Amino acid sequence: MGGEVVAGAALNEAVKGDPALLDSLRGRRATAASYALTTGLLLGWVTLTAFRRRERWAWFALLTSVGLGALASAIRYFILGIPSGWATAAATLVVLLVALAVSYRDFR
């Protein structure tokens, strides 16, 4: 883990004076990764069960949960000025909206 790079700087060098800060940053990254994993599993489960059965709530659940999350992540560049990751969030939002638009007729 010593070779981690954040914003172009080695993480170990950036927090040289405070080892607790290094642990804190790694902990935040691990928490974000675990939330991403569990959210992805839930998304897959809803998609493979209720969405396939064309249950209307599943269409709206995917739109609101994934859509609002991706939108919030994409607009952080404009609100916070943090460009890292906004393009991935915007691409996720576009793919979701296209997929839901294609399936909309089945859920009316």
Threshold 0.85, pTM exceeds: no
Assign residue 8 a region: left if phi > 0, alpha if psi is -120 to 50, beta otherwise?
left
pLDDT band at residue 6 using 50, 70 and 90 as cut-offs:
low
DSSP sequence for 26-51:
HHHHHHHHHHHHHHHHHHHHHIIIII
Q: What is the pLDDT of residues 18-33, one digit of tens each?
A: 778 777 878 888 898 8
Q: List 6's β-bridge partners, or say none.
A: 9
Q: Does 61 or 77 have the greater pLDDT score?
A: 61
Model confidence band, residue 1 (pLDDT cutoffs 50, 70, 90): very low
Q: Where are the domains of the chain?
A: 1-42, 54-108
